[in-house]
Chain A
C-alpha cells in the first residue's frame, strides 16, 4: 500500500517560515491535500490539489509537490498556526485514501 512520510515535529519562531514535508513514491504525480488539526478539534482543509487554498485560508499557506516530496509552506508563522498538519492523497492503484502520519508544528 502507498505510504506517506512526514516528520513528527517542526519548530519555528514567530514571523519565520515553516516548511512541512510529505514524502511518497512519485507523489508529484498525485494530487496532495493538507489539513490542519488543532487540539480537540476536527481537521480543517488548508491546501487542496497541491497548491489551492480554500476560501478563508490565509495566503500565508501554500503548497508544492514534485518528484517524491510535497511541501506545505506557512509564511510569517503566527502562534495560532500551532497545530498538527496532515498530508493526504488518493492512491488509485489500491482505490484507497492515505494520510501521512502528521507533523506537530510548534511555534517557539
Chain B
C-alpha cells in the first residue's frame, strides 16, 4: 500500500525551529518528486516547497524562501522540511504529497494525513 506518514509537528515559539519528516512506503521513492503543502486553520491549501526525485533541485514559495529547507534521504525513503525563524502565520497542518512524476509540475496523487505546527508563545 502506498503511504505517507508525517512526523515532527508541535508547538514552537516564534523565532524557533522545527524539522518535519515524511516517511514513504509502497512505491519507488527516488523516482518521484515530493512536496509540502500547508493549510492554516480554517483556510485553503498553500503550496510550500518541492524537491525532484533525485534531490538535485528544490523549489520554495516566496513566503518561506530563506527560512525553510526541503530535503530527502532516498536511502531512508524520507522527506524532510527544516523550518527556521518560525512565525505565527506558519501555524498550519503540514501535508507531504507525492507527485505523480519525477518533477514537481505533476499532480499530487498521494497525500499524508498531515502534522500540525503551532507557532505561539
Residues of A in contact with B (beta carbons under 8 Å apart) = 1, 31, 33, 35, 37, 42-45, 48-49, 54, 84, 86, 88, 90, 92, 95-102
Contact = CB atoms under 8 A, between A and B. Distances in A.
Main SS class of interface, A: strand
Nearest to A99: B45
Interface residues of B, number: 23
Contact of A97 (B44, B104, B113): B104
A42 B111 contact: yes
B59 interface: yes
Contact of B45 (A44, A49, A86, A92): A86
Given A43-B108, A43-B111, A88-B107, A48 B50 contact: no
B61 interface: yes
B47 A95 contact: no
Given A88-B47, A99-B45, A42 B107 contact: no
B109 A90 contact: no
Contact of A43 (B59, B95, B104): B95
B36 to A, nearest CB: 10
Contacts of B46: 99
Given A88-B107, A90-B105, A43 B45 contact: yes
18 contacts: A31-B105, A33-B107, A37-B45, A42-B111, A42-B113, A42-B114, A43-B111, A44-B111, A45-B107, A48-B106, A86-B44, A90-B104, A96-B60, A97-B50, A97-B59, A99-B46, A99-B47, A102-B45
Contacts of A88: 45, 47, 107-108
Task: Give the 3 A-B CB pairs with smallest separation, nearest first.
Answer: A97-B47, A90-B105, A48-B107
Nearest to A84: B44
